[in-house]
A and B are shown apart, each in its own frame.
Chain A
């Protein structure tokens, strides 16, 4: 049943496969993102309550949900690598961590920039912003653990354990922060509740969301490919690939010189 998947467990096959789909992913991401962003910035109607500051929503919400999604993706990769001793999954988890951290940072910064006109302060201990901040800490922990080990295979295993511990804790942290927030909520008026979405607001959002998701996939693919190369650097196929690449590079330089 799952046999068609087996070839992709081979690093060489998945390296070439990702190399093939990478340009398509990149092109689609650029297409969706450019349509989505231009639509969101220039053509989508302003919110009747928040005015044009509502346009931050088109970056903030995709970034926030993708940051959570990438963490779950990392956890799934860590789980598969731990249960089936599947080394490529470690490589993919290592590729996802920095991307997730950057998108968490984007969600935080855009959240702050949205909060300033809406709440009057850059930072508010809002439940969602706080759990996003903690998610950033979890990401940074995983990245730091990755960097602390010399051996990439060991690093992948250790980071996988931490990711799984984190993913069990993440819902607990999220709910405890939400509960804490309702307990301590003072006189702040939360205007960032559900914005009333009309259809002409929703479409650009759909484009932005798909565009950002494709962009994430593209970047993860690029990083995944370099992770595969570093982990398999002594394999013959990597050696031939690298020497071909370098000879092509040298030939190009010679051509340029002439």
Chain B
């Protein structure tokens, strides 16, 4: 079977497997953003003071902002090494739709950075005395929200991957786009702390997720075509 007649699913899983294998060989790529996430969250009590009441009030915001920043930190790797060794160009030249390839890469990125973040978040929530009723909301918002971060961030990476010092520029481009996710996620967690239903906020984050899932890969594809020229 030649490469050209692979089905979409086969292409998707091929790229996904490739990216996951590469990530498994560089384990520090997975651990470092996670470590950053933990350290940023620990800095806040040191800066603000250890009162449990204050901390539990601001815990959702801190955890989410730290999640945004650590995602941002890990984004750079999404296309960088592939761009440097030329395999990105090969992918864009392949007969398969860019949409599928880009989506596979983004899913791989989320599995590498988003998922560990979700798993470690409850631990940090304990450190910040998060309200006991909010744990479910925290996990659900992270589960729905971090893919949005990866998807939107991929657009920024696609635009800056050809630029030498793209790191700082990336944060300037991407962070404003993260604001809606931040607002609705923290508000869902806050609402959950009051014991009220937070399905409305979750629905909006889900809508953001679906919207960015369908639109972002096209934008990333266009951006990559500009960057690889």
Contacts and interface: CB of A to CB of B under 8 A. Distances in A.
Asked if chains A and B are in direct contact (CB within 8 A), the reply is yes
Interface of A: 82, 134, 137-138, 140-141, 144-145, 148-149, 154, 157-158, 161-162, 164-166, 168-169, 172-173, 176-177, 179-180, 183
A114 B110 CA distance: 45
B176 A176 contact: no
A162 B172 contact: no
Interface stretch (B72-80, B122-130, B134-142, B221-229): B221-229
A107 B183 CA distance: 24
Nearest to A156: B226
A96 B75 CA distance: 30
A145 B183 contact: no
Given A141-B173, A141-B176, A158 B183 contact: no
29 contacts: A82-B222, A134-B176, A134-B179, A137-B172, A137-B175, A137-B176, A138-B176, A140-B172, A141-B173, A141-B176, A148-B160, A148-B169, A158-B227, A161-B159, A161-B222, A161-B223, A162-B155, A165-B152, A165-B155, A166-B176, A168-B215, A169-B176, A169-B180, A172-B180, A173-B176, A173-B177, A176-B179, A176-B180, A176-B184
B117 interface: no
Given A173-B179, A176-B183, A183-B187, A158 B223 contact: yes
Given A145-B159, A148-B163, A172-B208, A161 B226 contact: yes
Nearest to B158: A161
B166 interface: yes
Interface of B is mostly: helix
Contacts of A169: 176-177, 180
B67 interface: no
A149 B219 contact: no
A177 B179 contact: yes
A157 B226 contact: yes
Contacts, number: 66
A155 B172 CA distance: 16
- Report which residue of B163, B169, B226, B227 has the largest number of chain A beta carbons within 10 angstroms of its beta carbon: B226
Interface of B: 152, 155, 159-160, 163, 166, 169, 172-173, 175-177, 179-180, 183-184, 187, 208, 215, 219, 222-223, 226-227, 229
A183 B223 CA distance: 36
Nearest to B201: A179
Nearest to B220: A161
Contacts of A183: 187
A133 B89 CA distance: 37
Nearest to A151: B229
A180 B183 contact: yes
Given A134-B176, A165-B152, 20 more contacts: A82-B222, A138-B176, A141-B172, A141-B176, A144-B172, A145-B160, A145-B173, A148-B163, A148-B166, A148-B169, A149-B163, A157-B226, A158-B227, A161-B155, A161-B222, A162-B173, A166-B177, A169-B180, A173-B176, A177-B183
Contact of A154 (B160, B166, B226): B226
Contacts of B169: 144-145, 148
A179 B191 CA distance: 14
Nearest to A168: B215
B170 to A, nearest CB: 10
A179 B159 CA distance: 31
Contacts of A172: 180, 208
Nearest to B208: A172
A138 B166 CA distance: 16
Nearest to A137: B176
A165 B172 contact: no
A161 B222 CA distance: 8
Nearest to A140: B172
